[in-house]
Amino acid sequence: MSDHVYRLSEIVGSSPTSVDDAIRTAVRKASETVRYIEWFQTQEIRGQVTDGDVAYFQVTMKIGFRVEN
């Protein structure tokens, strides 16, 4: 097993459906331009309330990706 070096980047995902969907949407979108994403860590969950109901979920997270040799 070789040693790896990782870098962190903070991203925010959003979804009108769920926290899970906000996370998955953010990771999928980030993986379009960032290679070797290996993990994520949620930092903050917040949402928007409209007319007394949840309208949107937002999740701030860090993604960890391997630095190329």
Domain range for 15: 6-66
Q: Is the pLDDT of residue 67 over 60?
A: yes
According to the model, what pLDDT value does residue 2 have? 66
* d(C-alpha 12, C-alpha 35), whole Å: 18
The domain tally of the chain equals: 1
According to the model, what pLDDT value does residue 33 have? 96
pLDDT band, very low/low/confident/very high, at 4 (cuts 50, 70, 90): confident
In a domain, 42, yes or no: yes
In a domain, 1, yes or no: no
Strands 6-15 and 53-66: antiparallel
Which CATH number belongs to the domain containing residue 49 in this structure? Answer: 3.30.1660.10
According to the model, what pLDDT value does residue 1 have? 47
Query: pLDDT tens digits for 6-65?
Result: 999 999 999 999 999 999 999 999 999 999 999 999 999 999 999 999 999 999 999 999
